[in-house]
Every structure is written in C-alpha cells, then in structure tokens.
A and B are shown apart, each in its own frame.
Chain A
Amino acid sequence: MKVIVCVKQVPDTSGKVAVNPDGTLNRASMATIINPDDKNAVEAALTLKDNTGCEVVVVTMGPPPAEGMLRELIAMGADRGVLVSGREFGGSDTFATSQILAAAIKKIGLEADDIVLCGRQAIDGDTAQVGSQIAEKLDIPQISYAADIKVEGTKVTVKRMLEDGHMTIETQTPCLVTCIKELNEPRYMSVGGIFDCYKKPVDVYDYNTLKDDPLIEVDTIGLKGSPTNIFKSFTPPQKGVGRMLEGADKNTCAELAAELLKKHII
C-alpha cells in the first residue's frame, strides 16, 4: 500500500494580504506556506505509515521553488516527492489542475490498495474542488471533509463531517479522501528527517513526462484548457475608519440591524 498526498504551496494569508493596483494578488510580496489542510492530509498519511509501514508520496503542482516544500514534507516523514511543473500547466483552473494531477498520480502508479489524500481546500482559492475532480478523473470513489480515517486492508472507513453532524462512510481502495483540520495535529519535521531530506528522491514531471496520458491535451490543461476564466477581479471599497452610530438606545440598535440586513449579514 502507498498513500499519495496532493499538496499546494500557498501565500500566507495570516499576515498582511497584498493586492496589486489591478486587483490581482501580489504573490511576490507574500511568504509562502504549505496549505494548512494539506498538512493535515500529510499527517494522516504519516500516521498510516507509522501503523502499516506504507510508502508516502507527496505530489505538488507548482513552480520549481515548490521543491523546497516537498523537502520539508520529506523531513516530516514522507518517502519521496513529485514536483509537477511546466509552463504548459500555468493558468490552470480547478478542472485543468485536476486533469494534470490525475495524470501525475497515474504516472506515479495507483495500485489497488492505494489511497490518495488531499486537503479539503487551499486558502488562496478556497474552492475545495480539486480533490473531487481528481477522484472523477481517476474514476475512484471520493470521501470529503474527513475528520477520522481508518484503514483495514482495503477497507477505508471515514467520519465525514456535515454542517449539522457527520456520516460514517465505508469504501474500498483505491479511493480519494479530503482532509480537514479536525483530523489531526500535524507533526513537526524531525532532526533526522531534516538531515536526510535531500537524500530522498524528488522527481520532476514536466509536460513531456505526462503528455502521453489521454488526460493531457492542449484543450484540457493550462489557461487554454480551463473552462473558467477570471472576468474581473477587484477590491471591495476601502473599509473606512468605521461609523459611530448615534446614541445607544433602541433606535441605534434598529439602525444597526437595518445595516446588517442590507449587507446580507443577518
């Protein structure tokens, strides 16, 4: 058995978010981190490794510097990394991204007892779409919003969170599970892991590596293969210093409630 974990490097939005004058995100000025939910997915994989001795492969699509993130994950305990990188892949929306990542997972090799893990969603796009879309492209079952994962042989049992409770869902490998932060507390890199992380392999898959897969076509990857396009992006009007409402009585509160209603907040 092996566990393939899809991870993404994202701008750290816990600091100041920098926006260009044209309304796009100024990524260059922001530090990058491993997407938080993806770290929970890696931890889930490493827990399975602790219990079963399975192999853990971390895969990311991104520019060459994303290799550094894969090395960090290897220092946490992953066995090897795959960096999917190429200018043909740039500008991909979630549909095109899932085509490419599914092709990469096929290249790594998805065996009958393997599991694919993803974070629920990335903090830069917040779409939560790529995991489900990879599962569709691989034609394997998916279980999203996992707060607990148990694996016994080829049987996978997941506690799947809903807004008002949860479901327990069983399926068979190979399958894809998306992970949420309630699942676990990600471990730190170990000293030995940091020492060894450059000794373990990180393969680079470019367009040529994947081009023979039927999922990889000019009109299914990159900007040209993305069904969705950004039509406009913009910043909301600046938050003023705020407004002090007159008084502190019934009318004041009614005015506040009316404002919140107008803004669809209540």
Chain B
Amino acid sequence: MAEFNNTNLADFSGVWVFCEQRQGELQPTVLELISEARKLADDMGVEVCGLLLGGKGVGEKMAKELGAYGADKVIVCEDDKLETFTTDAYAKVICDTVMDRKPEIMLIAATNIGRDLGPRCAARLHTGLTADCTHLDVDVEKYVSFLKESSTLPQAQLDALNREDRNLKMTRPAFGGHLMATIICPRFRPQMATVRPGVLKKGEYNEAKANAVVVENIAANLTDADIKTKVTEIVKEAKEMVDLTGAEVIVSVGRGISKDVEGGINLAKQLADELGGIVAGSRAAVDAGWLTADHQVGQTGKTVRPRLYIALGISGAIQHKAGMQDSECIVAVNKADAAPIFECADYGICGDLFKVVPLMIDAIKEAKASK
C-alpha cells in the first residue's frame, strides 16, 4: 500500500457508507444513509459504495438490499473475527480499506457502535469527523434552500456563499436544538460524519438496482494480536421504562386522566409504543400515586429534551414547563383551551384526550405506513 496522503484531495472519490450489522441483522438506519449517499453522489457525479463487515454470509444476505436503496457497489469483508463488533478489528479493516481506495465521503450511523468506531477511524486516518449530523449537503443551492427553511440567517449571508463549493456541509444540533452548526472538513479526506438514526429519509426499494449491485469481497487480514478486547457476552434487553433523560419520544400524562387513570395510562402507553417512546407524568400524576417518582418531568423531577414531547391532560404549570419546554417538538392535548401548556406547544389540540389519543394513534400509524 502506498503511503496514505489524505491532503491530496483530488485522489479521493466516491461516497461510502459503513453498513452496520449486528449478529447478522442490518441496522435499519443504514438504508437511510445509503439513500442519502445516493443523493449526495448524484450531485457530485460519483459512485455510492457500501462497506459491509461481518461474519460469513453477510454479503449474500445484505448486498442486494443495499443496492436496492442506492449502492452501486458493496465491498464485503467476511471473517470470523468480524462476526461480533470489536472496535479494534472493525477500525483496522475500515482504515486499511479507506487508505487503499480513498473515498471522498464516509458516512456512519450515529449508533452506540458508530459513535465508538467513527472517532477511532478518523483519528487514525487523520481526518475530521462530525458527530450526530441531521442534515448533509454538497450542492450549495440545496444547502441554501435548507438554510432558508431552517435558519434565521439573513439572505445576504446566503447569497454570499460560493456556489462552486464542493465540500460536504454537515449540519448538527447542539444544546438540544438551541443552536445548529454546519461543519466542514476542507483540508482532509475522507470527510466523515456520523448521522443520527431516523432523521434522513429512506428512499424507494429499486429491484433493478438490487440486481445490478456489484459485490467485491476483500480479505480481512486480521490476527489475534490486532484485537485487544474480548466480547464474552451479548445480551438483548427490553427498553428501560424510565430512562427519561435519554428518551427520544415522551408521552406524558397529568391530572386530565383522573376520570379513568388506568385507561389514560394505557392510552399513553399505546401512543408511546407507536412512536418508540416512553411514558412519563406531571407532578400531579406522581403525587396522586398513578406513576412512580422516576417518571416525573419538571423542576422537581427530570429535565427532558426529547425530539417529541406529547402532553396529555397536563395544564402546564411553570414547574412542569421548566422540565420540558426545550423539547424539539411539543404536542399538547387538553380540554381547557386556556391551559398554559398551549403557550409552549408547537401543536395544540383542544379536546378530550380519551377521544383524541385513539385517533392520534391511528393517524400516526397511517402516516408511518405512507413513508
């Protein structure tokens, strides 16, 4: 292998996606990344390549699906030492392959594994890595339209952007969405990003593309000495009920469920399950003994910043709002149209939660099916 020079930008070409699988199951977010890579690659006029590491048979099982969503090619590395993820083995294969093939962009899902692996690779490759991105652009016109919709930047600043710029513009939230930053990596390649799961849109399955995908198998060249950690156990667990601060979606109940506590909590659970979220409650709900204290959101409970917070039958006392008003999107359902919760809600529905929530569950099911 010739010496790796990551500053000679012209040597680098193509958009790569690290195709994370766990125990032979492709992580669904990878298809979002492949679809996004396709768009970027089309803007740049280059190829999309998936990099798939795993035990025997992963290529046979997954390459076609990766092709269907936009990969022109999948580089497959199958080895017993790659069957279970270890940072050492995966980082070595990825870095060796990147140094050899020189992609211009490398996308990794921002899962617990991706966020462990990505930084290790970027440090070894001496390049930049942007964490947990929610939006990516190469084309400047597309970036400008994104900024128009999602920022308060003045038009003059948008007009001043260099239309020829071909850097990957990687946008991510900081401080729970209070601040957005677009990061670039102008001097080194590949430009690397981990991408937040569930944000970018998965494209359409394309049968012809699935059949046309080119598969290339490569050898791992790993020895036992390369891997300094040993995985002795893998355990799958059901989601923890009450990890409020880490939750992406929270459905919270308040005094409004008092006429049928069990039924109200049940509805909240059904809604939360549909959204992949968890149930929480206001101080009133906890003080009444309907939920245990670890479910409480508010000044005396937990401060949460989920992507979606749904308040059911919660009036919105200041102490409750202090714990949830920084959520990215707030939906409130309350019978009283003057309830203070509506002041901080993005979307308010004035009505009886026992009637509204079942309709909401149906509507969300339908919307998801239409994706």
Contact = CB atoms under 8 A, between A and B. Distances in A.
A226 B153 CA distance: 25
Contacts of B155: none
Given A227-B126, A249-B359, A266 B330 contact: no
B236 A244 contact: no
B237 A94 contact: no
A111 B200 CA distance: 44
A254 B366 contact: yes
Interface in B151-201: 151-153, 157, 167, 169, 174-188, 198-201
Majority DSSP secondary structure for residues of A touching B: mixed
> Which range holds the interface residue count of chain A?
35 or more
Given A132-B87, A171-B229, A237 B112 contact: no
Contacts of B259: none
A234 B183 contact: no
Contacts of A128: 115, 119, 131
A248 B174 contact: no
B356 A244 contact: no
Given A124-B174, A254-B363, A227 B232 contact: no
A230 interface: yes
A242 B184 contact: no
Contact of A23 (B179, B228, B355): B179
Majority DSSP secondary structure for residues of B touching A: mixed
Given A227-B127, A244-B350, A234 B180 contact: yes
Given A136-B124, A253-B362, A232 B367 contact: no
Contacts of B364: 257, 260, 266
Given A229-B184, A256-B347, A126 B131 contact: yes
Interface stretch (B63-71, B73-81, B203-211, B337-345): B337-345
Nearest to A171: B229
Contacts of A131: 119
> Which range holds the interface residue count of chain B?
35 or more
B112 A161 contact: yes
A95 to B, nearest CB: 6
A237 B151 contact: yes
A133 B123 contact: yes
A243 B346 contact: yes
A230 B112 contact: no
Interface in B272-304: 275, 303
A44 interface: no
B1 interface: no
Contacts of A28: none
Interface string A90-133: 00011100100000000000000000000000011111111111
B150 interface: yes
B175 A13 contact: yes
Interface of A: 13-14, 17, 19, 23-25, 93-95, 98, 123-133, 135-137, 140-145, 157, 161-172, 175, 181, 226-239, 241-245, 247-250, 252-254, 256-261, 263-266
Given A170-B232, A264-B200, 10 more contacts: A129-B122, A136-B123, A141-B229, A145-B112, A161-B112, A166-B234, A172-B228, A228-B130, A232-B157, A248-B356
